Amino acid sequence: MPRNALNSKLEMHASEPLYKQIEKQILDCLAQGEWKPGERLPNESQLAKRFGVAIFTVRAGISELVAANILIRRQGKGTFVARHDRQRQRYQFTHIFRNDGVKISPERQLVSFSRISADRSIAEMLHLPQNEKPSVFRVECILKLESRPIATMDITVPARLFAGLTARAIRESAENLYAVYQEVCGVNVIRIEERVYAVKAGARVANTLGIHAGDPALRVDRIAYTYNDVPVEFRSRVHQAFDYHYQISEGGV
Amino acid sequence: MPRNALNSKLEMHASEPLYKQIEKQILDCLAQGEWKPGERLPNESQLAKRFGVAIFTVRAGISELVAANILIRRQGKGTFVARHDRQRQRYQFTHIFRNDGVKISPERQLVSFSRISADRSIAEMLHLPQNEKPSVFRVECILKLESRPIATMDITVPARLFAGLTARAIRESAENLYAVYQEVCGVNVIRIEERVYAVKAGARVANTLGIHAGDPALRVDRIAYTYNDVPVEFRSRVHQAFDYHYQISEGGV
DNA sequence: TATCATTTGTACGTATGTATG
DNA sequence: GCATACATACGTACAAATGAT
């Protein structure tokens, strides 16, 4: 019996190895919402049967998605779609630390929520059609730690993908915004690109952060992507730079 | 025949899985210099025989080290100890980009090289004994792009570990400094931690970089580690922040 | 408390594909 | 063409965690 009797998409001697094809198929299922965040996937032998391959091959494909924090395996329980809530801190993309080395989890205070037309640079970053003035949600926040403002955060998301996003939904959740995107809009952020600039604080930001205009500040611009490298969010944060810094670790076992 | 007849260190029913033990053993061999950067390891079946386990188990251990960029596998050739030279860009830890999005590879101009006593904060960062005024090498450089200075870089390394490091060795190599550390001193950097600060450029740095004192600048402090999380280098760079930024990507397939 | 079915984790053996020299 | 070495793939067995019985 041909191994892939049940699934015509698989190519046995394709340029790509089977397990990579399985990985892509699972990604497709995720992108199409067949398995939603927090849900359990069919077990490995079921998936193997469904895709017409050996368990080994399914495991290899899943392993890559686990390494990418898209799936989570739990022995004795199953394989799950990763969630963005604060408990499982896998999706805490933030790299801002207090200067004493402690990672911070600031609170979010919503300042404004509006629906506007994207300007050209935003439309370009979010891959929106540039001719028809695409509609976006604009979210302005202040990040606070112990009720002291430490950063401003301006967010832009395409309205088409974020149907159902409201000021109320943002205000009422204490979670990571990406958890809100998952819950409310079904949007899964799986990758970010971040650029960090040293800037002079402008008058408005300086006033908000309780520093002087012209003081150095860290501007952190981020584009967040969902499956298939589709950009879904642009956010720009400006951090008070006297007590906080940006920190990463790279390499190692 | 007991599987681990040839190696008494392995524990069959230890808390740690076999492949993790193999990984540690390989790391030990690397730390002790049995296999040097660029060299080929024994092939998988030889390693399996040596450690008294199946090939599968050796592969699992090696895979973790490959993921950490410590080993490199090349089909048909073998498994090699990763090198830090510029060709294989795996060990380009730098995250500085030009504002148009192009990653930069600046040239290094040596300004001074000296042997001094570490002050307390350096001794602490590099885990040096604090009572006996440990000796360190101090390296001051300017990073240039198309012969225009874009950053200053001050480096401190413990003299004990970096025997053989000279101004000449640094000046004569066009490679990454970490390649020099490997070649000249046998020190392998496998992990870094980096902190990014927004600061005002001081007079001296501003003068070097061709900007004004007080202009915003990116200070990037890094501690580099070798095997077993031993810190081996502290470096502090100050980057001109008008044309350059710090950039990372995280997550994704 | 103890047992049992389910599910992933680890480990082994084997076969074949593919890149390299 | 050939030997070597890693890459992929399959089948199997048992361990360990989990949750329900």
C1' (C5) to CA (A18) span, angstroms: 31
Quote the pTM value. 0.92
pLDDT of residue A131: 78
B223: confidence class by pLDDT, cuts 50, 70, 90? very high
Please name every residue paired with A130 in a beta bridge, in sequence order, or none if there are none.
none
Residue A51 CB coordination number (10 Å): 22
Fold of A18-81: Arc Repressor Mutant, subunit A (1.10.10)
Contact B217, A198 (CB under 8 A): yes
Q: What would the two tokens of residue A64 be?
A: 């890559």
Q: Is the pLDDT of residue B64 over 90?
A: yes
- With distances taken from each CA to the C1' atom of nucleotide C6, the closest residue turns out to be A76
C1' (D5) to CA (B34) span, angstroms: 21
Closest residue to A199, CB basis, from B23, B195, B198? B198
Q: Which residues of chain A fall below pLDDT 70?
A: 1-14, 86-91
Which of A69, A93, A245, A249 is most worth mutating to test chain B (most B CB atoms within 10 A of its CB)?
Answer: A245
Specify the range with the lowest mean pLDDT, choosing from A239-243, A245-249, B3-7, B192-196.
B3-7
pLDDT of residue B10: 64
Closest residue to B194, CB basis, from A70, A195, A248? A248
B132: confidence class by pLDDT, cuts 50, 70, 90? confident
CB pairs under 8 A between A and B: 117
B3: confidence class by pLDDT, cuts 50, 70, 90? very low
CATH entry 3.30.1330.20 includes domain A87-246: no
**Extents of the domains making up chain B:** 18-81, 87-246
Helix axes A44-51, A18-31, angle to 10 degrees: 100
Q: Is the pLDDT of residue B89 over 60?
A: no
- With distances taken from each CA to the C1' atom of nucleotide C13, the closest residue turns out to be B54
Q: What is the pLDDT of residues A67-112, one digit of tens each?
A: 999 999 999 999 999 998 866 655 579 999 999 999 998 999 999 9
